[in-house]
Each structure stands twice: as C-alpha cells, then as structure tokens.
Structure 1
Amino acid sequence: MKCPHCVYSNPEEVTFCLNCGHEFSENAHQEQNSLFYEFAHYVDMVPRYERSVEPKFRNIFSRVFRRHSDLEAERLFIVGTALTTPKIEEVKETWPKPWLFARVFLIALIAYVGLYLGVILFRNINFIPGLIVVGAFAVPFTTLIFFWEMNAPQNIAIYKIVYVVFIGGILSMLVALVFYDILRNNINPITIGIVEELAKVITVIYFVRNLKYRYVLNGLLLGAAVGAGFAAFETAGYALRALLSGSFHSLFFTILVRSIFAPGGHVAWAALTGAAICRIQGNKKFELNLMLKPKFARIFVLVVFMHALWDAPLQGIFPVGQLILMAASWILVFRMIHIGLKEIADKKWELAYFQ
C-alpha cells in the first residue's frame, strides 16, 4: 500500500499509513493503479508548504480510541535512528495525532493495579518497591511519550529518551542539591522555583548542545525527558518517606496526588524551558549570553513564577490553584508546539524556494 500523501510503502494489513497516519479508504488498492489518482497526488503535493499549522484540538486526540495494529506501534518505536530519521523535506508540518501515550498509560495502570493488589490483598511487602517505582514513573513517562509523538522531526530515538530520563533526571536533582547546599537557610518558594528550574535548564543544555537537536520540538521533548526523570525520582522519594511513616494509606495517597498533578508540573515546565533553549540556539553553538535573550528569559521567569506559586503555602489554594497552573502550563506547551511546527514549515519553504 503506497500512501497517497507521503508515498510511503506500507504492509497490506494496515489501515493507516505508518509514516504520516493517513487513513486508507476501502478502494485504495484500485485507486493506486489510476493515472488520475497519480495526477491528483502530484497536485496535492504542490501546496504542502502552505498548509495551516493552526491547532484543531478536536482532532489532536482523534486516534486515541481507534484500533491500531502492532505494526503501527513498532513503526513509531524505530524512528530517530540514522536509517529511520526522515529528511526535513519529508517531515509533516501539520499537527501530529498521538495515540501511543494512552496505550503506555493503560499498561502502566494495569501493572500498578497488580502491584497494589499484591500489597493490599496478600500483604506481601515484596510488591512495595515495584509499586513505588511504577507509581512514580507511570504518569511522567506517559506524558513524555506524548511529547515524543509530537516531535514531528522524528530525529530522536526512544533509547535516547530513556537515557535522558534516567541520566538527566539524576543529574538535574544533583545540580539542584548543590544549589540548595549553597543557599542553605534561604529556602522559600521563590528560591525553590529558581533552583529546580535552573538545575533542569543546565541539564537540558548539556543534552541539546549537540546541534543535531536544534529544533524547538526537540528541545520540548528533551526538556520533558529531564522533567519526567526529575518528577519520577522525586515522587519515589516522597512515597518512600510516606511509607516510612508507617502508613500504607499515606503511600498510596502520595503517589495518587503527585501522579494527578505530574503532567502540569516538572514535565511541562522543563519542556517549556527546553524548547526556549533550542529556539534561541538555532543552528549556532550554545553560549551563555543566549540565555539573556527575551525569548528564553520570558519563559524561564514565567516557569519559575508558576513553580513558586505551586509551592506557596497559601490557604485554600490546593487543589484549585494547582489545576489552574496546570492549565496555564499546557496552554503554553501547545503554543510552543505551534511555534515548533511553524519552524518546520518555514524550513521546508526555504529549502523548496532556494533549490
């Protein structure tokens, strides 16, 4: 099956193109042999650089509840290598329609329920470490898969993302501890926001200094990976503290609450600053003076402000305040995705114009 939109050759049994996601019609086989179809395909390719990248939220999650084959999932997991990274001319600048993240969440949820039953019904403490680890990573990693599916250039392999989650998460926490040790008694919501967000920014800079990852969407993904690692390790630590207090209820409550708010916290904030870094860096090597540019400084200050409000001990702010901050964070995230897709459209137009 040759896709009419991207000319990718698919196996016979798939219903969607494994490259661009185009849905095949029932008479697609007959259409492929039609000269008229080939002409229509050529005409359709001409205005691709002028397609709108405006978000249509009713369509973004339209494939979550559709049936997908194992081949479609396998096709997603092999992108990002030297052999499977598409050229910029082949990248679609329209909004991706992610669906794999929902399957990842379902798998993590089933695993967590199994571990939960092992602890509650059978009182087997051997299930507790797995419960903490799966509970801490489930939502941050699910959110990260969403960002990975939204990375339209498809130039970062999944093994690289897993590497950044673990190494970036640990590195950012260690950097934050160094800053905390320097501040010592000057700890408050504002300094917490500055320390933790700056630690994640430094870690993201370490990973995006390679000019291979120069797109805004790359920074968004790598930032989310660092934030997911930071959030998961932090949740695991708080869950262990709750368990050591002698209460299983506190353990489950800690995991539940932090999982609910995980998408709008460290993951989204680090994604925003990561995207801002790649936006100011472009095709140049990173220099510290780039962080003074308004395009980065505005995002960083805003993220620190949201982090400080999140941790502020204000009466009656929980959980309404956190929900509002989550919504604000994701409005900015979708805005940054729009900027990233517009960047790809502009680069494709430049290549088409100057060739």
Structure 2
Amino acid sequence: MKCTNCDYSNHDEVSFCVNCGERFLKKNNGEDENSFFYEFAHYVDFVPKSERSIQPKFHNIFSRVFRKHSNLEAERLFIVGTALTTPKLSEVKDTWPKPWLFSRVFIIALLIFAGFYIGLNYFNNVNFLPGLIIVGAFAVPFTILIFFWEMNAPQNIAFYQVIYFVFIGGILSMLAALVFFDILKHNTNPIAIGIVEETAKTVTVIMFVRFRKYKYILNGLLIGAAIGAGFSAFETSGYALRALLSGGGPNLYNTILWRSIFAPGGHVAWAALTGAAFCRSKRDRHFKFNMLLNFKFLRVFILVVAMHAIWDSPTLGMYPLVQLFLMVISWVVVFLFIRAGLKEIGKRNLAV
C-alpha cells in the first residue's frame, strides 16, 4: 500500500502511513470505512496475521530487525507507558512483539565508541577516556535492555521510568551487594559471590515490582533487566578503569571487549529472570515475604545463583565455552518466560 501523501510503501494491513502518519481509507464490501484507531501495540499493526505466533521462534521475534524503519516508528515506540498512552488490556495482543529498535541502538553505540576511540588514540586527547569507558560499558547492556523494553507487550512502563530503574536500581543493587559482602566478611568464593550479588539485585527488583501496577511477567522481565543493566554497566566501568591503571590501554580494551561479548548472558538476563519469577508468583497481590518462599520463584533464583557461581568459578568460568553455554541456558529460560508472559496476557484478556 503506497501512501498518497509521501509515496512510502506500507504493509497492506496498516491503517496509517508509518512514514508521515497519513491515514488510509480502507474499503469493506465496496464502502469506505471512516472509523480508524491508533494501536499503541504497534507491532501488531505492522505484522501480517500469517506471521503472528506465540511460539518461541527466532524468525518470529527478529523478523523486523533488517527492515527499513522510519523515525515516526521510533517516536511511537517512546510515547507508550504514560497514563494517556498505555493501551487497555483488551487492545494488547498475546502475540510475539517484533523488536527492532535495539539493533539500531547497538549500531549507534558502536559508532559513538568508535568516535571516542579515534579521539583518544589518534588525537591523543585524554578527555575522550571517560566517554570511551562509559559508552563501552553501557553499549551492550543498554542494547539488551531496549530489547526487553520492546518485548514488554503491556506497554505500561514509560521509557523515562526504565532509565530511572537503570541508574537508581543499578547503584542501589551495588550498594546492597557491598553490605552483604561486609556481613559475610568479604567472602569471595564463587558461591558467596553468586548468592550476594543475585540477592542484592533481587531485593532491588522487588523494591520496584512490589507495586500492583507491575503485575505482569513481562513487567518483571523488563524491570529486572533494567536493574541488571545498571549493575553490569557500573561494574564494567570499574573493571575497565582498574584494567587501565594496572596494564594500560590493551587491558582496558580487552576488559571492555570480553565483558561486552558476554554481557547478554550475565547480570541483565539473570536479574530479568528473577524479576519475572517474582511477578509470576506475586500476580495481582500485594507483596508478602512468603512470596519469596514460592517454589516457582525459588527454583529460578537458585538457577541464577548457580549460573553466577559457575561463571565466576576459577576452574570452569575461565573457559569461554562454559560462559557461552550459560548464556544459552539463560536465554532459553528468558524466552520461556516471554512466552509465559504473552500467554498470561491472553488469559487476562479472556477474563476481561
């Protein structure tokens, strides 16, 4: 369907041009329809019905990554989550969202990092160093966070709130970890590290998702991912600075590179899993401590702690293949939770 206003080619099922916003007149039995609606669940409008599925197939999820998108599409993504733009539950479809913005965010982050690298290494301007560390530390965690934000089908969390969770949740979880380490007399064996850091992030996640507004599994995934992204980026920044002070430039870039490669399977995914598990056990109820004893929550928390402990193990964690295997496990469980979250929305729709 070509737009008569800007000549942009759109999918046949859209009710407005994704480039200029021009509304289309669609015919039904030879008569013009004058009723139009704006679906904030934009991914439903742009995806043909034949592609919709609740099955966890990669081609269903990433089918829009390599398509051309306009600035208008990105702008519509960022307006969701407010009191005026959160769709009703009946308008939310229990189908796989089709995220794409996260890939653009990653490309932009790489270009910015390249700019800082050029300024620091070719022009020898040390003023570029802080930016290089910050962008290098945030690039991958923030990209993964955008993916979780696009997958949040209820679209009830505004982007400014996500940023709040990243910075406030990130620093609170790090401080909580320091408190727990102090209680354990700075015990640094892998099991202790896994328990301490995952407990710190889980406590922080619960602080935010305890409110009844965040009652969906997909909400827990997003908020957990935001806190995990903050924790991961702040930690990487610290390690990068220490690597620079101890071994110079090569150590700095190696630290940023390897921590970025494995960032998708680390703190971001682990915190997302515990957030989703807690929301699944909480449902619409107010927070009570006995929710933490729920078996469905405990088994996910134990799994996360075990993966973290193996990741930090001096014998197993030193092998990249082990970390890659842990990443695969993490994301298999993540996609299972996404599927469960979409099914949850479908059941709630039937109950409405």
Q: Please tell me the TM-score bracket, short chain as reference.
A: 0.7 to 0.9
Counterpart pick for 1:33 among 27, 32, 36:
27
| 2:84 maps to amino acid | L
Distance change in 2, residues 1:151/1:314 (3 Å): same
| 1:278 maps to amino acid | C
* Alignment TM-score, normalising by the size of structure 2: 0.88
Distance change in 2, residues 1:37/1:129 (3 Å): farther
| 1:33 maps to amino acid | K
Conservation of the 8 A alpha-carbon contact between 1:14 and 1:69:
no
| 1:109 maps to amino acid | L
Matched residue SS, 2:123:
coil
Distance 2:168 2:10 in 1: 38
Match of 2:121 in 1: 120
Distance change in 2, residues 1:287/1:64 (3 Å): same
Deviation, 1:185, is 4.5
Match of 2:168 in 1: 167
Distance change in 2, residues 1:321/1:303 (3 Å): same
| 2:160 maps to amino acid | Y
Distance 1:277 1:93 in 2: 21
Match of 2:189 in 1: 188
| 1:260 maps to amino acid | I
Distance 2:335 2:17 in 1: 22
Deviation, 1:18, is 11
- The answer to whether 1:15 aligns with 2:10 is yes
Matched residue SS, 1:245:
helix
Residue pairs, 1:219-234, within 5 angstroms? 219-234=220-235
Conservation of the 8 A alpha-carbon contact between 1:18 and 1:75:
no
Match of 1:300 in 2: 301
- The answer to whether 1:207 aligns with 2:208 is yes
Deviation, 1:13, is 5.1
Distance 2:16 2:341 in 1: 19
Match of 2:342 in 1: 341
Distance change in 2, residues 1:315/1:216 (3 Å): closer
Deviation, 1:122, is 1.2
Distance 1:316 1:307 in 2: 9
**CA RMSD, 1 decimal:** 2.7
Distance change in 2, residues 1:52/1:21 (3 Å): farther
Conservation of the 8 A alpha-carbon contact between 1:17 and 1:23:
no
Match of 2:141 in 1: 140
Deviation, 1:33, is 2.0
Deviation, 1:210, is 1.3
Deviation, 1:186, is 2.9
Match of 1:253 in 2: 254
1:233-291 CA-to-partner distances (Å, cap 9, x unmatched) read 00000000011114100001100000000010000000000001111111100111111
Distance change in 2, residues 1:134/1:308 (3 Å): same
Conservation of the 8 A alpha-carbon contact between 1:224 and 1:270:
yes
| 1:34 maps to amino acid | N
Conservation of the 8 A alpha-carbon contact between 1:216 and 1:279:
yes
Percent identity among equivalent residues? Answer: 63
Conservation of the 8 A alpha-carbon contact between 1:16 and 1:23:
no
Match of 2:37 in 1: none
Residue pairs, 1:75-94, within 5 angstroms? 75-94=76-95
Distance change in 2, residues 1:349/1:111 (3 Å): same
Structure 1 unaligned blocks of 5 or more:
2-10, 40-47
* Alignment TM-score, normalising by the size of structure 1: 0.87
Conservation of the 8 A alpha-carbon contact between 2:56 and 2:336:
no
Match of 2:56 in 1: 55
Distance 2:112 2:178 in 1: 32
Distance 1:229 1:243 in 2: 21
Distance 1:299 1:20 in 2: 42
Conservation of the 8 A alpha-carbon contact between 2:169 and 2:230:
yes
Conservation of the 8 A alpha-carbon contact between 1:225 and 1:267:
yes
Distance 2:109 2:244 in 1: 21
Distance change in 2, residues 1:122/1:238 (3 Å): same
Structure 2 unaligned blocks of 5 or more:
34-48
| 1:180 maps to amino acid | F
- The answer to whether 1:96 aligns with 2:97 is yes
Deviation, 1:56, is 2.2
Conservation of the 8 A alpha-carbon contact between 1:20 and 1:92:
no
| 1:324 maps to amino acid | F
Match of 1:64 in 2: 65
Matched residue SS, 1:109:
helix
Conservation of the 8 A alpha-carbon contact between 1:53 and 1:94:
yes
The total of aligned residue pairs comes to 330
Distance 2:169 2:13 in 1: 30
Conservation of the 8 A alpha-carbon contact between 2:316 and 2:322:
no
Conservation of the 8 A alpha-carbon contact between 2:217 and 2:340:
yes
